[in-house]
Amino acid sequence: MSFPKDFLWGAASAAAQVEGAWDEDGKCPSIWDVAGEHIKNGETCHTACDHYHRYKEDVALMKEMGLKSYRFSVSWPRIMPEKGKVNPKGIEFYKNLIAELKNAGIEPLVTLYHWDMPLWVHREGGWKSPKIIDYYLEYVKVVVEALSGDVRYWMTFNEPQCFIMLAYVTGGHAPFRHDVFTFRNHMRHMLLAHGRAVRLIRKTAKLKPVIGIAMAASTYIPDSEDEAGLRDSAQKSFKSTVGEGSNSLYMDPIARGVATKMLRRKLSTEDLKIISEPIDFIGVNVYQPSNPMINKKGYNTDALPKTMMGWVIDGRCLYWTIRQYYERYHLPIMVTENGMANPDTVGFDGKVRDDIRVKFLDDFLSSVKRAVDEGIPVLGYQHWSIMDNFEWCEGYGPRFGLIHVDYNTQKRTIKDSGRHYAEIIRTNGENL
């Protein structure tokens, strides 16, 4: 079996990481615009890749690479800069971006929330407060009304594991809180917002919507592929402490209508009915397996290459995440993020020779091909990221892009990996 003819070969980004224009055309600050001393080297996302002004150039590069899809997020603070106020300039930007994509033959995949909460929403309590549910739905309604005539694919949230747990428990992401004793309330608010948003999109979208959510998915590669090994792997992926926190804590309520142990006393039967509003696919953001966290002695990380952020590179993990998510939740899968950070530089010949990412693409896409060959419905693959960008608290050091960005001049250069990916797309994966 080969990749379907309509397979969505693409790449991904997020508004706060690429757009810049942080205070232009009516946009209000997000919680990341005011992150200040939390970001390395005193850097900010205020300019980032200046995609807001350079989107036509960026879409032209996507077209040159042959992308079939582009996953991006809409900036809530650009659309709703004040409570109850819609910013026409913000809507205009996304209408123009989507028109540019459609003219280039590229399918827009829209993420409605990728971490850039408006500062005014944070001041109203953020995910701590149940008020955020209605604020979010008001924003979603505006976006769907404005864009759904040209957009079919919607994701309600990107990685709630990060914007709840890292942001409100460990304090590692904006707004850098430690709500250790109350974070289950935050999770309930997010899950209810998701379910109600799915219902709203389904009811009001102009084109028949395809709705999902993008999860920071990390599963356990089986120690053996016999029945016992597969059973043990699934247990570690969804029922261990790491597995629950990464996967089932969110997806069991969403896709199965049941709460795991951590939320059992927090979610009512009525809550679960709302949260489990049917979705069309699950997006998995996959970077490394959970084996190093669960089986430190049995999984030899020393023998494997690593990214500049210290993440293990093991292409098998993408296959097992796709398979295990499909076997547990019985929904089509889209790889909504997969990539690696590397300290890429432009050589004297003007080229960016990122051989490690070329091999990364081959290894991880071979995993996707295995899943497709086994009949698992995989809708597409969105590489993270289309271009180097602002990597949250790490600033601009880690480079994830298929396109190199010189942050001093904003010059774009397609890397060797971008050229290699273009050839994979051209052959629809037949060269893997």
Q: Is the peptide bond before 366 cis (omega within 30 degrees of 0)?
A: no
Percent of the chain with pLDDT over 70: 100
Q: Which distant-in-sequence residues (6+ apart) come within 8 Å of 188 by Cβ?
A: 263, 266, 267, 271
Q: Which one from 43, 159, 244, 391 is the annotated catalytic residue? A: 159
- At 179-201, the pLDDT tens digits run 999 999 999 999 999 999 999 99
Two tokens at 21? 């224009």
Q: Which one from 100, 107, 337, 391 is the annotated catalytic residue? A: 337
Evaluated on CA atoms 199, 201, 204, 206, the torsion sign reads negative
Mean pLDDT of 206-226: 97
> In 330-383, where does DSSP find H-type helix?
355-373
Instruction: Please state which of the four CATH numbers 3.30.365.10, 3.40.640.10, 3.30.1550.10, 3.20.20.80 is assigned to the domain occupying 8-425.
Output: 3.20.20.80
Cα-Cα end-to-end distance for the chain: 13
Two tokens at 83? 């409570």
Q: Is 337 a catalytic residue?
A: yes
Q: Is the pLDDT reported for residue 297 higher than 90? A: no
Q: Helix 227-238 vs helix 316-329: angle between axes, to the nearest 10 degrees?
A: 80
DSSP string, 284-309: EE-SS-SHHHH-TTTS-GGGS-B-TT
- At 135-181, the pLDDT tens digits run 999 999 999 999 999 999 999 999 999 999 999 999 999 999 999 99
Evaluated on CA atoms 325, 137, 147, 383, the torsion sign reads negative
Tell me the domain boundaries of the chain: 8-425
Residue 246: which pLDDT band, with cuts at 50, 70 and 90? very high
β-strand pairing of 403-406 with 378-384: unpaired
Q: Residue 399: beta bridge partners?
A: 342
Q: Is 159 a catalytic residue?
A: yes
- At 336-360, the pLDDT tens digits run 999 999 999 999 999 999 999 999 9
Residues 184 and 262 sit within 8 Å (Cβ to Cβ): yes
